[in-house]
Amino acid sequence: MARRGRAFWAQLAFTVLVAAFLIVPVAMSITAGVTANFFQGVKSGLTTRWIGEVWRLYRDTIVLSMTIALATLIVDLAVGVPAAYVLARRRGWLTRLVEEALVLPIAIPGLATALALILTYGTWREFRTSWLFILVGHVLFTLPFMVRAVLAVLSSTDLPTLEEGARSLGASFRQRFFDVVLPNVRSGILAGALMVVTLSIGEFNMTWMLHTPLTKTLPVGLADSYASMRLEIGSAYTVMFFFMIIPLLIGIQLAARPRKATVVRDEAA
Amino acid sequence: MLPAAVIFAAFFLLPMARLVAVGAGGPAGLAAYAAVLTEPRYFRSLVSTVALAAAVTGLTLVIATIAGVFLQRNRFPGRSVLVAMLTFPLAFPGVVVGFMVIMLAGRQGLIGDLTRLVTGAKLVFAYSMAGLLTGYLYFSIPRVILTVMAAAEKLDRRLEEAARSLGASPWQVVRDVIVPGLTPAFLSAGAICFATAMGAFGTAFTLATEIEVLPMTIYTEFTLRANFVVAAALSIVLGVITWLALAVARTAAGSSVAAAA
């Protein structure tokens, strides 16, 4: 690299400033979450009291969010993977239309989707007050991500040839799907799964409308704590949320890498 | 395929049809949709939402391009840490973004403390339109930086060399070579950014319920005034705007862009 001029340092300073804008509040909330009194500063002492408070007040929301994320993942796997398979095998105007339609729940704000669900099914009391109502919203919102992740891998593998080979050896459709197709799209399923869980845990726009006092998820609880609890509790709660999503984010980064390697291998073969 | 189609039809198509019908089913009929334009309160909310989303999109593109192209072009110690810091907030929901703005510019925020030290007066802007703008920048910058970095990687550096050898100044290279090369990425990232800023709800909800942006107006009409007709009509209008913006994004970038709204 040549001698670095003034332009380099100016841009570096700018980039560091942007990074600070994003990270300083994160650092502040982590500090506030373990500080006895944030107004007085760290000198008031460090404490795990607020984390304990959050666990006492909001444990249910964390459990419910994990339950819903897992259930969303199961439904998305059961429904989304076969759908992606059909979309990949049958290219035509109908499948293209379906592909377009499936993306609509992402394109339309969650608030609108939630209103539509409430206006249609809101009078069905057992359904409205159960967590399944939130599950429906999360499945709508996350399904396109699962379908697209699997579809991306499917379109980069030569599936028809692999399947033909299996069929010529006498494999039934069931055997072909589970022993040939699924192992080949494993990386896509993994990437999609991590994405789905991350999105479900953080979903608020829709969930705020769909939740009831007995079905509060983590982001709903967060909004509640920001509005009605002291800053330290909101911070401690946010820190717990960070620790839930950090492993998922790292997983997404790692899952993105081997997929590139597979594609290269396929082209070389 | 069938289960996906059934779930989609029962829980999305049918409710959406119902939403359209409710919007048109009030005493005013289809005129409820026109009310978005004729009723000053809704129209003001629509205009300020569009203005806010446009401002966020413009600012984010400028900031993310400077930082993204810089990070793509230079290798230096600490670069990967910077990239990690810039993309960490990707998965934050709107409510958490709102809280981050409160941390920065709220009543006990950093900016308030700094300005009190310097000028004696405490600057607090989290609970206003400026706070919302800050929140949406916070939310959009990581996404757009990733897109810009990916696009900048594919730029042909020989074009810049050629321009320079023909006597172009650094500024001319940026204006006439780099920016045109990144235009497809700008269009797709900008449209996603715009659509997200239009429809986002969590950040505004955390900061202040009085901020009149369209999602907040819909929320107030629905829950506080129980005005289902107007809420439904406004939702449809909002949905059409965001859908159109994302359609632009996908045509601009081919089908490779994921609408990560």
Q: Does residue A46 sit in helix, strand or coil?
A: strand
Encode pLDDT of B46-61 as tens digits: 999 999 999 999 999 9
Taken in order A214, A215, A219, A220, the sign of the CA dihedral is negative
Q: How confident is the model at residue A167 (pLDDT cuts 50, 70, 90)?
A: confident
Residue B164 token pair: 């320079």
Question: Which candidate, B240, B182, B188, places its Cα nearest to that of B214?
Answer: B240
Encode pLDDT of A17-51 as tens digits: 999 999 999 999 998 888 888 878 778 888 888 88
What's the full length of chain A, in residues?
269
Q: Which residues of chain B have pLDDT under 50?
A: 255-261
Is there a contact between A134 and A68 (Cβ–Cβ < 8 Å)? Answer: yes
Q: What is the pLDDT of residue B258?
A: 41
The answer to whether position B217 is within a domain reads: yes
Whether the pLDDT of residue A264 is over 70: the answer is no
Question: Which candidate, A246, A231, A218, places its Cα nearest to that of A58?
Answer: A218
CB contact under 8 A, A204 and B231: no
Q: How confident is the model at residue A237 (pLDDT cuts 50, 70, 90)?
A: very high
Q: What is the pLDDT of residue B256?
A: 43
In angstroms, the separation between the Cα of residue B154 and the nearest Cα of chain A is 16
Helix (H) / strand (E) containing A16: helix A6-33
Q: What is the pLDDT of residue A197?
A: 93
Residues A34, A85: Cα–Cα separation, whole Å: 48
Mutant choice from A205, A238, A245, A263 vs B, greatest count of B C-beta within 10 A: A205
Q: What is the pLDDT of residue A74?
A: 94
- Give the CA diameter of chain A: 75
Q: Does residue A146 sit in helix, strand or coil?
A: helix
Chain A residues with CB-CB distance to B236 below 8 A:
112
If one counts every other C-beta atom within 10 angstroms of the C-beta of residue A240, the result is 17
The answer to whether position B210 is within a domain reads: yes
Q: How many domains does chain B have?
A: 1
If one counts every other C-beta atom within 10 angstroms of the C-beta of residue A78, the result is 12
Torsion of CA B12, B14, B17, B18, to 10 degrees: -110
The amino acid at B221: E
CB contact under 8 A, A226 and B98: yes
A219 touches B at CB < 8 Å: yes
Q: How confident is the model at residue A260 (pLDDT cuts 50, 70, 90)?
A: very low
CATH code where residue B155 lies: 1.10.3720.10
Chain A residues with CB-CB distance to B74 below 8 A:
1, 8, 11-12
Q: What is the pLDDT of residue B1?
A: 63
A238 touches B at CB < 8 Å: yes
The answer to whether position B2 is within a domain reads: no
* Average per-residue pLDDT for chain A: 85
CB contact under 8 A, A103 and B222: no
Phi, psi of A67 (to 5 degrees): -60, -50
In angstroms, the separation between the Cα of residue A90 and the nearest Cα of chain B is 11
Residue-wise DSSP of chain B: -HHHHHHHIIIIIHHHHHHHHHHHSSTTTTHHHHHHHHSHHHHHHHHHHHHHHHHHHHHHHHHHHHHHHHHHH---TTHHHHHHHHHGGGG--HHHHHHHHHHHHSTT-HHHHHHHHHHSS----TTSHHHHHHHHHHHHHHHHHHHHHHHHHHS-HHHHHHHHHTT--HHHHIIIIIHHHHHHHHHHHHHHHHHHHHH--HHHHHH-TT---HHHHHHIIIIIS--HHHHHHHHHHHHHHHHHHHHHHHHHHGGG-----
Chain A residues with CB-CB distance to B259 below 8 A:
103, 106-107
User: In angstroms, how far is CA B121 from the centroid of its own chain?
Assistant: 31
Chain A residues with CB-CB distance to B220 below 8 A:
none
pTM exceeding the 0.95 threshold for the entire prediction: no
Chain A residues with CB-CB distance to B67 below 8 A:
11, 14-15, 18
If one counts every other C-beta atom within 10 angstroms of the C-beta of residue B184, the result is 14
Encode pLDDT of A69-89 as tens digits: 999 999 999 999 988 888 888
Whether the pLDDT of residue A129 is over 60: the answer is yes
A203 touches B at CB < 8 Å: yes
- What domains appear along chain A, each with residue ranges and CATH number? 58-268 (1.10.3720.10)
Mutant choice from A31, A115, A124 vs B, greatest count of B C-beta within 10 A: A115
Residues A65, B40: Cα–Cα separation, whole Å: 40
- Closest-approach residue (CA) in chain A for B247: A107
pLDDT mean over A153-161 = 82
Residue A205 token pair: 């726009």
Residues 99-158 of A with CB under 8 A from B: 101-113, 115-117, 119-121, 136, 139-140, 143, 145, 147-148
Q: Is B89 exposed, middle or buried (0-12, 13-18, 19+ CB in 10 A)?
A: buried
Residue in the structure block whose two tokens are 């398979």: A85
Q: What is the pLDDT of residue B253?
A: 62
Encode pLDDT of B90-105 as tens digits: 889 899 999 999 999 9
Show the domain range for B200. 30-256
CB contact under 8 A, A222 and B95: yes
- Closest-approach residue (CA) in chain B for A139: B7
